[in-house]
Amino acid sequence: MTKTQRGLAVFLFMAFVPVWACDIFMSEDNPLYWYTALFCSLGGFAASYAEGGLDGLRAFGRRTLRVAGSLRFIVIGYLIPLGLGLGWMALRAAGKLPSAFHPAFDAGFLTMLATAWITGPFAEEFGWRGYLQNTLLTRMSPFLTALVVALVWTAWHLPAFYDSVFSSLRSTLGFASHCLTLSLLLVWLVPRAGGSVWPAVFLHWSANTHGRLLEAAFPTIGGANLPGGASSAPFYLGAVLLFVAWQRRYYFRRTAPASAPREPLSA
């Protein structure tokens, strides 16, 4: 087993086994339930240690935690879902937007934002984009990397959403397209930030909360005109695929991420 194979095995074990066990055996009423996703990010650090020891762990930390040079990509990442959401609302109810704009944010809303930042984006992205995406980019085109990460990411949610998101083919495809949409964006954004994971954290955070934020900003727009769920997923994916077509030279060529090259999967 090569170092990279060992790292992938450690990451997949850390990301899947504790989280799936929690989803299957722990009640959602248990406060710890919402924080077990942290094993995904911890898996990225553990896999880096498995590959390169303390030196590998330090290199992973320096790359993924760096803020210098990544601020503009953090801002871009956060604004992308909001822009897509507003685009969807404009298509659905453009004439109602000005009169429906009455922002109303309370303490409960701010608490929701803080919780959503920790339990999803921060808990996951050091694994998905920090480790897995970075590893696959040394062997696959960015487009194929995004596709593989999206499939793994979708499967990772299965025990948590088996009786809701995965209860119908339409909602399953909608959720899978949501994962692919974010993966296609992040495979472009994160390398431009030098491998920093913070743009991924903030884009993921915005994607998870922008529907609630737009609902609070436009309280009378009507639920059917708000983004989210399977109905708006094709619009989001279509918009991102247009971006992929525009950036096709990047997406369909073999590229290396910001980190140092890794050894091949096979000896």
Which tens digit of pLDDT belongs to each residue from 214-251?
999 999 888 888 998 778 999 999 999 999 999 999 99
Q: Model pTM?
A: 0.91
Higher pLDDT residue, 93 or 130? 130
Q: How many CB atoms lie within 10 A of CB 98?
A: 8
Rounded Cα distance, 225 and 92, in Å: 6
Single out the residue of 117, 99, 123 nearest to residue 212, CA to CA.
117
How many residues are present in the chain?
267
Single out the residue of 139, 125, 107 nearest to residue 4, CA to CA.
139
pLDDT of residue 213 exceeding 90: yes
Higher pLDDT residue, 254 or 106? 106
| Six token digits for residue 18 | 């504790």
Per-residue pLDDT tens for 10-43? Answer: 999 999 999 999 988 888 788 788 789 999 999 9
- pLDDT number for residue 97: 87
- pLDDT number for residue 181: 97
Rounded Cα distance, 185 and 204, in Å: 10
- pLDDT number for residue 98: 86
Average pLDDT for 119-138: 96
The torsion defined by the Cα of 159, 44, 141 and 207, in degrees rounded to 10, comes to 60
Q: Is 256 left (phi over 0), alpha (psi -120 to 50) or beta?
A: beta
Per-residue pLDDT tens for 59-77? Answer: 999 999 999 989 999 999 9
pLDDT of residue 99 exceeding 90: no
For residue 121, report the phi and psi dihedrals to the nearest 5 degrees. Answer: -60, -55
Single out the residue of 244, 234, 115 nearest to residue 184, CA to CA.
244
Label residue 255 by pLDDT band (50, 70, 90): low
Average pLDDT for 181-189: 98
pLDDT of residue 191 exceeding 90: yes
Contact assessment for residue 200 and residue 183, using Cβ atoms and an 8 Å cutoff: no
